[in-house]
Chain A
Amino acid sequence: MLTSQLTWLVLTLAGGVLFAAFAPLLRRRAERLAAPLLALLPLAVFVQLLAALPAVQMGETAQARFDWVPALGLSLTFTLDGLGLAMGLLIAGIGALVILYGGAYLHGHPSLGRFYAVVLLFMTAMLGIALSGNALLLFVFWELTSITSFLLIGFEHERPGARAAAWQALLVTGGGGLALMAGFALLAVITGSFEMNVWAARAAEIAVHPLAPAAFLLILGGAATKSAQFPFHFWLPNAMEAPTPVSAYLHSATMVKAGVFLLARLFPVLGGLPLWTPALTTLGLLTLVGASLLALAQTDLKRLLAYTTVSALGMLVFLLGLGTPLALKTAALFLVTHALYKGALFLSAGSVDHGTGTRDIARLGGIGRAMPFTAAAAGLAALSMAGLPPLLGFIAKELVYETTLEAAAPLLLTGLTLVANAATVVVAVWVGWRPFWGRPGDDHLHPHEGTPGLWGPPLLLALLGLALGLFPALTGDGLIAPMTAAIVGQSVKVKLALWHGLTPMLGLSALTLLLGVGLAALRRVVQPRIAAFWRALAPLGPANLYHRFVHGLLSLASWQTAVLQNGYLRVYALVIVLTTAALAGLTIVLKDVTLTLSPWQPPRFYDFILVGVILTAAFLVTRSRSRVATIALLGSIGFSIAVIFLLYSAPDLAMVQFAIETLTVILFVLVLYKLPKFSRLSSTPTRIADVFFALTGGLLMTLIMLLVSRHASDASAAAYYAANSLSQANGRNIVNVILVDFRGLDTLGEITVLAIAAIGVFSLIRLGGKPGRKQRAVPKGGRTK
């Protein structure tokens, strides 16, 4: 039952991709209807997921499998469990609202159609992540979300800022994705599978494997870049260049949760590693505290929200790192809570921007009367963010304190969490109360409420936060319990309540609120100081390091191009020679061979002459400036070698050598006749260097040659050739017989090579024969480098 529901869901998604492709067309045809029509797709998914909820609450999970390349372990496995389902509900539900909101927000924008298409594509990919059961499939969707995020951040690509931010986000998250892939590959090496349930089943085996820490760190790297953990957090605030609905959807509610989701998904697999808790809690706490303090320095509504998103993500990673059932339950609840209130706040920030033309909290104030619905949505969401009863945020915050108090170092952890939570309260006041009811900083705002599309979606999300908070038991049993069960791997009881009595957690909550509201009131004092502090630290920040890294890579590349890739062939040849020498030399050194010289036997007199002629001539060839002399010298070398062949009693070979040498000399002479004298263009020092390099190569080769020893050969084949050549091939000249017959293929090929050479020469010469066209001087740039 559940499986068939899942199959239908996957098919809906596949259809959704096609649907998305037609979004631009639909928008052009029916501007007004496009948004509601397109929102039907996420809505359909949402309803399907809701229909599957009861079964999942009963503890069922489903798998659907489509083969891709089974031999490589590639199969499209989808699973549906509590975690994926909750995530899917958020993705589809907020997705539908964002489509509606986007239609109003970007009303009349020329590229609205593209917006719809890419958002739907993103939603499909994101749902893919939530439902993947196979790690490779997950990776594919993961990278797709990076690409769609890139396209959406760069939506208004006329602005250089948007382009730069899009680029940065893509490099950081796309790169992290590759690290993730490497981690998956390592896990696959350990287990031989990419199926995540196989991994979970063999978690014990993985935990003790030596490759496991490397796999974990790589996966953590992927998750940390996606979920904007320190030190990769900088891309997320910059991504606020995107249109506000995108920020709400991708960069707070869903995509940035993918990293956290993945860590939760792999908790049964990697949670047992000793590294898990220290790595995740440290990372999470750093991000949590750092980002919430960074948030206080911001004045832009969206950036304020972005930094608190980073800190919330830090909180989630921290909770997952603790790994106790309570912490996991808290993480599950906090994930849902945050998505709801942050989505609502982002969307209302967009509405404020739309209604007033600014997002600067120093200028905004007192617009609540003109924009009542937006104010209500923002206020309600901010209450949840600040953690006031009876909203969902309150329950989540109580649970967070309960978790830290239970943890290993309660004082430290609770203290740090308190600081971060207080900062969150400050931001909640600044974004949820101050713009609407605070003193206006600028009298020329002329605020006005937009169409229902602009305030409806945020209000709905905020009300949902209220509703879920009012019925905590329902929320706990219906949604959080299946989520936690999926993370832990067994069923868990989740009892949520608004009132626990007078507990330490309640006291901490109150303290948080007091601190937060107090600080918020002192905005003019607090904000500039914190901003100055961060400015001073900026040169050491990861964003700066990122810029340096990219810059360094670029200059390394240009340096290489300028120095080595300079267009001089001799440099290229030199590199080849030196590498070869190094390779050969290394082999000799590593092989640790000893030299043994063959016994000296006096050479014959004419050997001396021949060798002398060859070597002298060869040397002169490389030095001589006279053209004819050079050719003559080369010829003499060739003929001397032919004589050696004769001495070796290989007369046939000698004949061939004579013939070809003669031909070559004639060719050269013919060509040289047309060309000017050689001139000596290299200086003496470079020549000396060249001698050195050639000698290096030479000495190595010499060494090798000295190492060669005789070894016996079997003479049977010789006897075969000698005996058979006459009778079978009717030939007397053995080499020729062999060439023509026994090695017929070589000869065929050789003839063809000669033919090709002839064709080549022909085509080159023929073309050169008509230099009739107008010619111009070569400008410097005309040469290839």
Chain B
Amino acid sequence: MSIPLSWYLLLSVALFCVGLFGVLSRRNAIAILLSVELMLNAVNINLVAFWRYLDPARMAGQAFAVIVFAVAAAEVAVGLALIIAVYRRRKTVVADEIDLMKW
């Protein structure tokens, strides 16, 4: 407990921004999805840090974090299915089009 809260928050911010950078710079749908995942991870760090430092007695922060995980996983599943679906068509239609879409 020696580290101030702001350090964890900064870590979260850094992660969020790297994710942001990924979303902006990657052209591949999968990579973008990965970057969004990074951003969600950043949120989780935030949640847990807030919980730990501000309100350790109540479990709301933790419960919320669990929900974020689960929802993120669901999102990933749907996203990957979409990507595969699109890719299957694109691959057979335009062979040299590596990217899935304009990004």
Contacts and interface: CB of A to CB of B under 8 A. Distances in A.
Question: Is A–B contact present in the complex under a CB 8 A cutoff?
Answer: yes
A739 B68 CA distance: 13
A727 interface: no
A668 to B, nearest CB: 7
A275 to B, nearest CB: 53
A675 B84 CA distance: 8
Contact of A676 (B16, B67, B98): B98
Contacts of A698: 13-14, 16-17, 20
Interface in A587-601: 597-599, 601
Given A638-B41, A757-B77, A771 B17 contact: no
Given A611-B11, A650-B62, A771-B89, A641 B69 contact: no
Contact of A622 (B18, B63, B73, B74): B18
Given A603-B7, A611-B11, A621-B35, A768 B20 contact: no
Interface in A548-570: 566-570
Given A601-B4, A650-B48, A668-B80, A753 B25 contact: no
B6 A614 contact: no
A730 interface: no
A634 B23 contact: no
A574 to B, nearest CB: 6
Nearest to A737: B59
Interface stretch (A229-237, A245-253, A320-328, A715-723): A715-723
B7 to A, nearest CB: 7
A756 B74 contact: yes
Contacts of B2: 601-604
Interface in B5-48: 5-28, 30-32, 34-35, 37-38, 41, 44-45, 48
Interface string A762-778: 00110110010001111
A546 to B, nearest CB: 38
Given A706-B6, A717-B57, A664 B76 contact: yes
Nearest to A746: B67
Q: Looking at B25, B30, B103, which has the most chain A CB atoms within 10 Å of its CB?
A: B25
B16 A701 contact: yes
Interface stretch (A282-290, A367-375, A416-424, A688-696): A688-696
B63 A765 contact: no
A700 B8 CA distance: 16
B2 to A, nearest CB: 5
Contacts of A681: 27, 99
Contacts of B20: 577, 693-694, 697-698
Contacts of B24: 570, 573-574, 577, 690, 693-694
Contacts of A615: 11, 14-15, 18
A454 interface: no
A760 B70 contact: no
A767 B87 contact: no
Interface residues of A, number: 100
A775 B88 contact: no
Contact of B103 (A569, A693, A738): A569
Nearest to A572: B103
Contacts of B9: 705, 708
Given A650-B48, A690-B24, A777-B94, A675 B18 contact: no
Contact of A597 (B6, B52, B94): B6
Contact of B63 (A634, A706, A708, A738): A738
Contacts of B4: 598-599, 601
B13 A622 contact: no
Contacts of B54: 710-711, 713
Nearest to A767: B85
A630 interface: yes
Contacts of B41: 637-638, 641
Contacts of A602: 2
B78 A761 contact: yes
Nearest to A657: B69
A114 to B, nearest CB: 48
Nearest to B74: A757
B77 A761 contact: yes
Contact of B25 (A599, A690, A716): A690
A664 B85 CA distance: 18
B103 A570 contact: yes
Contacts of A573: 23-24
A697 B63 contact: no
A767 B88 CA distance: 11
A621 B74 contact: no
Interface in B61-103: 62-63, 65-67, 69-78, 80-85, 87-89, 92-94, 98-99, 101-103
Nearest to A655: B66
Contacts of B65: 653
A678 to B, nearest CB: 5
B57 to A, nearest CB: 2
A753 B10 contact: no
A675 B67 CA distance: 30
Interface in A489-544: none
B77 A682 contact: no
Contacts of A729: none
Contacts of B77: 667, 757-758, 760-761
Contacts of A757: 73-75, 77-78
Nearest to A699: B17
Nearest to B50: A708
A660 interface: yes
Contacts of A631: 34
A374 B4 CA distance: 98
B101 A761 contact: no
Nearest to A713: B55
Interface string A642-673: 00110010101100110010011001100110
B67 A760 contact: no
Contacts of B67: 746, 750
Nearest to B49: A648
B87 to A, nearest CB: 6
A754 interface: yes
B59 A648 contact: no
A743 interface: yes
A618 B84 contact: no
B92 A775 contact: yes
A715 B56 CA distance: 8
A719 B31 CA distance: 44
Given A602-B2, A697-B17, A710-B54, A675 B87 contact: yes
Nearest to B14: A615
Contacts of A753: 70-71, 74
Contacts of A657: 44, 69
Contacts of A638: 41
A59 B52 CA distance: 82
B52 A648 contact: yes
A446 to B, nearest CB: 67
A614 B12 CA distance: 10
B49 to A, nearest CB: 8
Interface in A220-265: none
Given A697-B17, A750-B67, A778 B93 contact: yes
Given A708-B5, A753-B70, A757-B74, A671 B30 contact: yes
Contacts of B14: 615, 618, 698
A54 to B, nearest CB: 76
Given A602-B2, A663-B73, A738-B62, 5 more contacts: A641-B44, A698-B17, A708-B9, A710-B53, A750-B67
6 shortest A-B CB distances, which residue pairs?
Answer: A718-B57, A698-B17, A757-B74, A694-B21, A622-B22, A598-B4
18 contacts: A566-B102, A567-B102, A621-B18, A621-B22, A621-B34, A622-B19, A653-B48, A657-B69, A664-B73, A668-B34, A679-B98, A694-B17, A697-B17, A701-B16, A754-B70, A754-B73, A761-B80, A768-B84
Interface of B: 2-28, 30-32, 34-35, 37-38, 41, 44-45, 48-49, 51-59, 62-63, 65-67, 69-78, 80-85, 87-89, 92-94, 98-99, 101-103
